[in-house]
Structure 1
Amino acid sequence: MRELAVLCAAYSISLFYRGMISVIAPEISADLSLDEAQLGLLASSFFLSFGVAQIPSGIVLDRFGGRLAIAAFMWFAVFGIGLFSIATHYYQALAGMVLIGIGCAPVFTGAMVFIGRLFSPERFAYVTALVIAIGSLGDLLGTTPLGMLSEWVGWRSSLRLVMLVTALIACLSLLGLSRDRPATAHETPGRMLRDMLRISTVRSLWPILPMFLASYGVLMAIRGLWSGPYLADVFAVNTTERGFILMAMSVSMACGTFLLGLVDRRWQQTKTLVIYSSVLALLPLILLAYYPDKGSVFAMWCFITVGLFGFTYPLLMSHSRTFLAPEYYGRGMAMLTAIGMGGVGVVQGASGWLLEWAGSAQLPPAEQYQMLFILLAGILSVAIFVYCFSRKHGNSDQPASVIRQHTAQLVENA
C-alpha cells in the first residue's frame, strides 16, 4: 500500500506536467511571444524527450530497479520546472520542458514494472488502471486549481510551487519504494540496449504499435494542448472557465480509466474492449469536426466523452505484455512507452504546424480548429483499422519458461 501511494504521487506530478500548458497556454504565449507552431513544439517537447529518455530509463529500470530510477530521474524535472518558471525566451522554456520530460520518463514504466512483479497478469490492467485513476489527481490540479492560482499569483509563481512539490516526491520515491533486485542486473548496458531496440521487431506487436502512436497522441493533443486555446479563440472562455471544462475532461479520463480496467478484469477481452472504446472516443471528434462552433457546452461534453473512452493506454500495455517474457517487461514497456510518447510529440507538433498554416491562410478560428479535429479523427481511424488485425493475446497462459524461450528466440532472430 505504501509503495502504491508513492507511485500514485509520482504519477500524479507526471500527469500534471503533461497537461499544464493547455490551461495557461494563452498566458504563456503572450508572455513569451509564441505562435501556434512554437506552442505546439513546446508542449510536444515534453513527450518527445519523455519518449527518447525511455531508452536510458528502461536500461536503468532493468539494471538498478524502479526505486533508484524514479528517484534519480525526477530531479531532472525539478531543475526543468525551475528553468521554465524563470524563462524569458522561447528556447529557455523549451529546454525546461525537455528536462521535465526526461525527469518523468521512468515514472509510469517503473510503476508498471512494480505492478507486474507484485501482481498476477490477470490483475495487471486493473491495478495499473487504479494507479492511473488515483494519480489523475495531478491532472485535475493542472486544470481549475492551476488556472485560479495563475490568476492569483501568476503562472511563474505557480510553477515554482510545483517545483517544490516535485522535489518532495523525488525524496519520497527514494525513501518509500522498496529495494528491488532485477534479474537482469548482471547484463551489460550495451546488451540491454540492443534487446530493448529489438523488442520492436516482435511481429505480434506490429499491429498494436499504431494504436500506441495514435490513441494517447490524439487524447493529449486535446487535453494537453489545444483544448484551452480552442475554448479561448473560438468561444472567448477565460482561464478559470477553461480550467473547469478541462477538469471535467480530466475527471472523465480518471473514471474511464478505472472503469475500463474493471471491465477488462471481468471480461478478459482486452483487444475487443480497446476497439469498442476507441470507436466511442472517435465519435465526438467527428462531431467537433462537423460542428466546431456549436458552443462551449457542446465542446465540453465532446471532451468529456473523448476522455471517458480515449485513454486505452493501460489496456494496450496489458495486451502487449502478453507477448513478452517477464525479464523483458522493463525494456519492453519502456520501448512501448517511448513509441506512445513519441506519437504524442508527433501529433502535437503536426497539429501545431497545421494551425500555424491555417492562421497564416487567415481562416476563421472555428475553421482552423475544424481542420484540427479532422486531422485527429483521421489519425485515430487509421490506427483502429490496423489494430483490428492484431492477435488477441500472446503466451501469458503458458509457463514462464516457455514465454522466456519464445521471447528470447524472437529477440535473437531479429
Structure 2
Amino acid sequence: MAGIAALAIAYVLSQFYRAFLAVLTPVLGTELGVTKGDFSLASGVFFLTFALSQFPIGVALDRIGPRRTAAVLLAAGAGGGALLFSFATAPWMIIAATGFLGIGCAPVLMASLYIFARLYRPARFAMLTSWLVAFGTAGNVIGSAPLAYAEATFGWRAVMVGLCLISLLVAAALYLLVRDPEHPEAARKREAGFSGFAELFRLRVLWPIIPLSAVAYAPSIGIRGLWAGPYLADVFQADIFLIGDVTFFMALAMVVGAFVYGPLDQLFGTRKWVAVGGTSMCLLAVAGLGFFPQTSVGVSTALLILVGLAGGNYGLLMAHSRAFLPPHLIGRGVTLMNFFSIGGAGVMQFATGAVVTRSIVPGDPAAAYSALFLFITLVLAVALVIYLFSRDAKPNHVA
C-alpha cells in the first residue's frame, strides 16, 4: 500500500506537469515572448515524448518491474525538466523542458496499472484505474488557482525550482517503497521483447478501441492544459486569477468525473456503452463551446466543467482494452494503449495549434476558438462512430 500511495503522489505530479502551462500563459508570454504557437508546440512535445517513451517503458515493466522504471525516469525527467524550465530564457528552453517532463511522467501511471493488473481481479481494474486517475487529477487542481497564487507570490522560477525538489523526493520514495510484483511468465517475456508489440497489433479486437482511446482524453486535458487560458484571456479578457479559478473548477470536475466512471462498468455490466454515453456528453459540451464561444464567462465555464466531468473515461477505456490482453504482455499492452491515449492528445495539441493559427480573424478573437472547438468535436465524433463497432467487455472478462 505504501508503494501505491507513492505512485499516486507521483501521478499527482504527472497530472500537474501536463496541465500547468495554461495558467502561466500570460507571464511567460510577457517575460519570454512565448507565443500561442510556442505553447501549443510545448504542450505537444510533452505528450509526444510521453507517448514515445511508452514502448521502452512497456518492455522495462515486464522485464525489470515498476519500481526502478518509475523512480529513475521521474528523477531524471521530471526533476531535470523542472530545473531546466526554471532557468529558461527563451521559448525553445520551455519546449525542451516540457519534453523532459513528458519522459519523467511517462512511467508513473503505467507502473500503477501494471501492479493493478497483476495483483487484483480484472473486475476491479476499471475502478482502481479510474480512482487513481481521479486522485492524480488533483495535480490539475494544484496547477490552476493555487499555481496562479504561488506564481504571484514567489515568481514562476522559484515555483519550478520547488517542483524540481519535490519531483526528486517523490522519485526517492518510489525507489524505497514500491515493490515489484512477481511475474511467472518471465521466460516468455524475455523472448518477446519489442516484438511483443507486433503480437498486440495483431489483436483485431483492439482496433476499434484504439481511435477513441487516442482522442477521448484530448478534449479535457487539451482544453484544460493548453487552450482554456488563451481562450478566456482573448475572448473574455480574463486575467491570471480568473483563468486560475475557471481551470480550478474544470480540474475539480475532472476529479469527480474519474471517480464517477470508476464503478459504472460494474453497475451497468458493460464498459462499451458507459464509454459511449460519457463520450457523447463530452462531445455535446465541446460542440456547445464551438457554436457559442462568447455567450458569457458563466456559460463557457459550465461547458468547460461538463467537458472535464464527461471526459474522464480514461480508466474505463483502458479496462476495456486490458480485458483482451494476454497475461505475458500486460506491461506492453497497457503502455501501448497509453501510447495511443497520450500520443493522440499530443497530436491534437499540434493540430489544434494549427487550427487556431489559421482561423484567426482580426477583431474577432472568438472565431479561432470556435474553429478549435468544432474541430475537436468532429474528430471525437469520428472516433466514437468507429468505437461503436468494438466488442464489449464485461467487468469480469479477461483474456
TM-score by length of 2: 0.96
In the alignment, what sits opposite 1:154? 155
Counterparts of 2:159 and 2:90, CA distance in 1: 18
In the alignment, what sits opposite 1:127? 128
Aligned residues: 398
Q: How does 1:6-405 map to 2 (within 5 A)?
A: 6-75=6-75, 76-186=77-187, 191-359=192-360, 362=362, 364-393=364-393, 397=397, 403=399
Q: Deviations over 1:215-235 (max 9, x none)?
A: 112222201100011011111
SS at match of 2:183: coil
Query: What residue identity is the alignment partner of 1:131?
Result: L
CA contact (8 A) 1:63 1:187 kept: no
SS at match of 2:88: coil
Structure 1 residue 187: deviation in Å? 5.5
Structure 1 residue 190: deviation in Å? 7.7
Counterparts of 1:182 and 1:26, CA distance in 2: 49
Quote the sequence identity (%). 33
Closer, same or farther: CA 190–372 of 1 in aligned 2, 3 Å:
farther
CA contact (8 A) 1:115 1:127 kept: yes
CA contact (8 A) 1:62 1:184 kept: no
Structure 1 residue 393: deviation in Å? 2.2
Counterparts of 1:221 and 1:256, CA distance in 2: 16
Closer, same or farther: CA 320–299 of 1 in aligned 2, 3 Å:
same
CA contact (8 A) 2:81 2:101 kept: yes
Closer, same or farther: CA 155–189 of 1 in aligned 2, 3 Å:
farther
Query: What residue identity is the alignment partner of 2:347?
Result: V
CA contact (8 A) 1:22 1:225 kept: yes
Query: What residue identity is the alignment partner of 2:230?
Result: P
Q: Deviations over 1:262-321 (max 9, x none)?
A: 222322211000000000111111111111111111111101101111121110010001
Structure 1 residue 29: deviation in Å? 2.5
SS at match of 2:372: helix
In the alignment, what sits opposite 1:407? none
Counterparts of 1:190 and 1:356, CA distance in 2: 47
In the alignment, what sits opposite 1:412? none
Query: What residue identity is the alignment partner of 1:209?
Result: I
Structure 1 residue 254: deviation in Å? 0.7
Structure 1 residue 160: deviation in Å? 1.2
SS at match of 1:390: coil
Structure 1 residue 206: deviation in Å? 0.6
SS at match of 1:28: helix
Query: What residue identity is the alignment partner of 1:291?
Result: F
Query: What residue identity is the alignment partner of 1:268?
Result: G
Counterparts of 1:320 and 1:293, CA distance in 2: 38
Structure 1 residue 188: deviation in Å? 7.1
CA contact (8 A) 1:7 1:131 kept: no
Counterparts of 2:44 and 2:338, CA distance in 1: 15
Structure 1 residue 186: deviation in Å? 4.1
Structure 1 residue 46: deviation in Å? 0.6
SS at match of 1:300: helix
Query: What residue identity is the alignment partner of 1:84?
Result: F
Structure 1 residue 88: deviation in Å? 0.9
CA contact (8 A) 1:212 1:336 kept: yes
Structure 1 residue 185: deviation in Å? 4.1
Query: What residue identity is the alignment partner of 1:13?
Result: L
Counterparts of 1:287 and 1:397, CA distance in 2: 36
Q: Which runs of 5+ in 1 are unaligned?
A: 404-414
Query: What residue identity is the alignment partner of 2:225?
Result: G
CA contact (8 A) 2:266 2:395 kept: no
CA contact (8 A) 1:19 1:223 kept: yes
Counterparts of 1:98 and 1:313, CA distance in 2: 22
Closer, same or farther: CA 316–153 of 1 in aligned 2, 3 Å:
same
SS at match of 1:392: coil
Query: What residue identity is the alignment partner of 1:177?
Result: V
CA contact (8 A) 2:119 2:181 kept: no
SS at match of 2:20: helix
Counterparts of 1:170 and 1:266, CA distance in 2: 36
Counterparts of 2:185 and 2:57, CA distance in 1: 14
TM-score by length of 1: 0.92
Counterparts of 1:190 and 1:29, CA distance in 2: 50
Q: Deviations over 1:332-377 (max 9, x none)?
A: 0101111111101110111111112223x53621111011011011
Counterparts of 1:111 and 1:264, CA distance in 2: 20
CA contact (8 A) 1:292 1:366 kept: yes
SS at match of 1:93: helix
Query: What residue identity is the alignment partner of 1:278?
Result: T
Query: What residue identity is the alignment partner of 1:53?
Result: S
